[in-house]
Structure 1
Amino acid sequence: MVGRAHKPTALASTPGLPPQPQVTFSDDNSRVTAVLPTGESLEVLLYGATVISWKDGAGDEKLWLSDAAKLDGTKAVRGGIPLVFPVFGTAPDHAQTSKLPQHGFARTSRWEFLGKSTSESESAGGAKAAASSSSSKATAAAADQSVKLDFGLSSANLDDKTRALWPFAFSLIYGVTLNRDSLTTSLVVTNDDDKPFDCQVLLHTYLRVEDISNVSITGLDGASYVDKVDGAKTKTQSSGAVQITGETDRVYTPAAAPSAPVVVVEGGRAGFSVTRDSLGDVVVWNPWADKAAAMADFAPADGFRRMVCVEAGSVADFQTLEPGDAFEGAQTIAIGSRAAAA
């Protein structure tokens, strides 16, 4: 075909419709990036389906990632949101998971990207319908958009060594949804085997803070917790906020429902609000100076001052899934005005 001298250029978007979220792959297909039209972004490493970056519209990072984190698939990522499954920590006395490494294998397996989906709020839908008559309404629709990325892992994806350590047929679907002022992560575990299996699930979230000495955590009043720094003693959280003043490793079972927020407050202002769905436990962790120094992939040395882990999970006990059963758990981390409102 003969080229046209004045051929029209390709359109960046459909006339009358708002800009759409963009999803791209890295050149080596090792990670997926999603960006909303309003600037918020998300980056997920396919190794472990680990969220390694979450930025607001101003480009400010919300997750802490170690400067020494391995992002080449050779080791679980230190920082971001690693996935813990099917065991939290190690469980030498639990027959099914006793042979598994620390935190299981989900965070050290290569996941498949299953696709993306986008959505708008009800008000945005109305704006979209009227976008041809008003560019401002199209802009409003873009502002209300979200994007969801889905990832999958099954027993068929595991290597022979891992399958030998945990010989059950299963499938995992992990969804990561980016909104303007929140991030939601959800995990569905399905037993595809002909026998029951036990499992634990944890979303090991590293939140970025400016100074841990100015941080407090509310929403855990009256909660029973296991203090892993103090010989795994069972204690009860007194009234008042949790302060981080040294090595902290606690598994809380909040007295309030999962929908009640656990709020990370810094300098008197709510920075993050974590709500849960079907995840009964909250792990609060900070390694502090000595333990951080002992971890080769933790950097900089004083990085513990700029992070706190608030981890939604089901880890106080094991979930038993019968053949064909499924378990679903999720967390939503809100920031800014939404965190304050919670």
Structure 2
Amino acid sequence: MPVEDLPSKVILTDPLDPNTNLTILKYGATIISWKNHGQEQLWLSEEARLDGSKPVRGGIPLVFPIFGKQKDPKHPTASLPQHGFARSSTWEFLGQTMESPVTVQFGLGPEHLSKEMATAWPFDFTLILTITLKENSLVTNISVANEGAPFEFNWLFHTYYRLNDITDTLVNNLVDQTCYDQLLTTSYIEKAPAISFHEEFDRVYSQINPARTIQIIDKGKVLFNLHRDGLPDCVVWNPWAKKSAAMADFMPKSAFHQMLCVEPGYVHSMITLMPGEKWVAEQEIELGGEIKIQANIY
């Protein structure tokens, strides 16, 4: 059965390959597993809470309507928790919309929020998340519709990738991009032809040309190609030893060696959505292929 609707999760299976499947937790509409021909592509903490008690550590959590914590105390998102409420609300499973490739949708609106969150962010919105499992890729599409007063928001696909070893990993095609280093609290132009990882890493790359394919590479082999539509920014994050040790739900503590977050989104500024308007964006994670150099290397 290509779509299995269970009480707490939905499982998608490729009709042509039962070893290619996807598990989506209804809490947060969080993708917690993506197996391609039996090989897991996403990292999930061994201590991740899958019971709805807190956002999931791993997989693909959804960040809306604020990235991080709002610094302006007068902004409507100021009273929201870090990364907003989409990842900590139970979404409605709307069903299967396509047989081949197998596609499903989830929805979230004010009626799905806790009383506390609905009071903290009293806007009339509709989120529709469309997830498509293909033979060699995963597509996540988000639609945000405004049914009432104007509001501002961020969006981010907070994707945790599974790796063999972070020290053998490179991220390609972010050279010459403006980035904000959240550890140094400063902005600069990235000059590394490919990004490598040997310590804690937390940068936000902004307004990346949509034609650029961000690649995650392991020892010369392309693992993932990130294609983006409407998502001009990208967060790259690895907590390394000290920060992972401080996170109770990050296990095992050495697992920062086996994970990397590369997160397409819209976070360099906020999107303003007027009454009746809709905003749509999409990421496609494609596996394998050749290394692409889409930048000037000096």
TM-score by length of 2: 0.94
Query: Which residue number corresponds to residue 260 of structure 1?
Result: 212
Query: Which residue number corresponds to residue 296 of structure 2?
Result: none
State which of 255, 265, 268 in structure 2 corresponds to 1:316.
268
Instruction: Summarize deviations over 1:120-152 as a string: whole Å, max 9, x none.
Output: xxxxxxxxxxxxxxxxxxxxxxxxx41111000
Query: Which residue number corresponds to residue 112 of structure 2?
Result: 157
Normalized per residue, which structure has more helix? 1
Amino acid at match of 1:220: L
Give me the identity figure in percent: 42
Rounded to whole Å, the distance in 2 between the matches of 1:245 and 1:269 is 19
Name which one, 1 or 2, has greater alpha-carbon Rg.
Answer: 1
8 Å contact 1:220–1:254 — kept in the other structure? no
Q: How many residues align?
A: 290
TM-score by length of 1: 0.82
**What's the Cα RMSD here?**
1.4
After superposition, residues 127-206 of structure 1 pair within 5 angstroms as 145-193=100-148, 195-206=149-160
Structure 1 position 95, deviation (Å): 1.0
Rounded to whole Å, the distance in 1 between the matches of 2:114 and 2:44 is 28
Amino acid at match of 1:238: K
After superposition, residues 1-342 of structure 1 pair within 5 angstroms as 22-26=2-6, 29-36=7-14, 37-39=16-18, 40-57=20-37, 59-93=38-72, 95-119=75-99, 145-193=100-148, 195-231=149-185, 233-255=186-208, 257-337=209-289
Query: Which residue number corresponds to residue 123 of structure 1?
Result: none
8 Å contact 1:64–1:208 — kept in the other structure? yes
Structure 1 position 157, deviation (Å): 1.5
Rounded to whole Å, the distance in 2 between the matches of 1:217 and 1:82 is 21
Rounded to whole Å, the distance in 2 between the matches of 1:259 and 1:118 is 27
Structure 1 position 336, deviation (Å): 2.2
Normalized per residue, which structure has more strand? 2
Structure 2: gaps (5+ residues): 294-298
Amino acid at match of 1:76: P
8 Å contact 1:259–1:277 — kept in the other structure? no
Structure 1 position 259, deviation (Å): 3.3
8 Å contact 2:225–2:288 — kept in the other structure? no
8 Å contact 1:71–1:77 — kept in the other structure? yes
**Misfit runs of 4+, over 4 Å:** 339-342
User: Secondary structure at the residue paired with 2:40?
Assistant: coil
User: Secondary structure at the residue paired with 1:302?
Assistant: helix
8 Å contact 1:221–1:254 — kept in the other structure? no
8 Å contact 1:78–1:298 — kept in the other structure? yes
Structure 1: gaps (5+ residues): 1-20, 120-144
